[in-house]
Amino acid sequence: MISMKMSEGVEWALHCVTLLAALPDRAALPARALADYHGVSESYLLKHLPPLAQCGILESIPGPRGGYRLARPADTITFLDIVEAIEGETSAFRCTEIRQRGPVHNTAPDAYRLPCAIHTVMRTAESAWKEALRQQTIGEMAQHLAETLSPQVLQDSSAWVEAHARSGTPAAPPPRADRKPRLLPVIAADTEP
């Protein structure tokens, strides 16, 4: 269930997916490297990577050259996709119609003909929140970070990614002239605002 207080898994997943957007084509990062980069528990992170793969956000590459990489372009992965992969798609607010209980509730058939006003407000707020997350893509976040992080953080991140990325399988195809170059690096640990 999505809650207004999301689990750490959502934060970790958003950071990991954004980092994976910086990888060269067909490259992958093992879960251990993702955990090390962010200074988080590998065992806890491993609980959140499979749901991202099951939802088509990540691709899990088995074997010694494997790891995780994006399953589709970063510009098609929204923050909402990731939140729902980790937290589920259930509504954050559940109206149980308590207005129709208790000693003073009205039993007339038309007494509750309108939807619960509290439920309506909560549904509207949740719809706005989800729409804001749906509008933000990982590709946009990667671009933002590439433009705003310090040159030193970008250089350190690039070196780290190059040292830890695995080639994945199958071999990378030759670059296409019509494809924009991938931003490498685009992500760094939370050292910049």
153 or 172, which is more confident? 153
Q: What is the domain partition of the chain in residue ranges?
A: 8-93+113-164
Do the strands 67-70 and 58-61 form a parallel or antiparallel pair, or are they unpaired? antiparallel
Q: What is the pTM (predicted TM-score) of this model?
A: 0.78
Instruction: Give tens-digit pLDDT for 92-149.
Output: 778 888 778 878 777 777 777 778 888 889 889 989 999 999 999 999 999 999 999 9
Instruction: Give tens-digit pLDDT for 9-37.
Output: 999 999 999 999 999 888 999 999 999 99
How far, in whole angstroms, is CA 160 from its chain's centroid? 22
Instruction: Give tens-digit pLDDT for 87-108.
Output: 988 877 788 887 788 787 777 7
Residue labelled with tokens 């898994």: 9
Q: What is the number of H-type helices and E-type strands within the chain?
A: 8, 2
Architecture of domain 8-93+113-164: Orthogonal Bundle (1.10)
Instruction: Give tens-digit pLDDT for 63-95.
Output: 888 899 999 999 999 999 999 999 988 877 788
pLDDT band at 169, cuts 50/70/90?
low
User: Taking 80 as the threshold, does the pLDDT of residue 172 lie above it?
Assistant: no
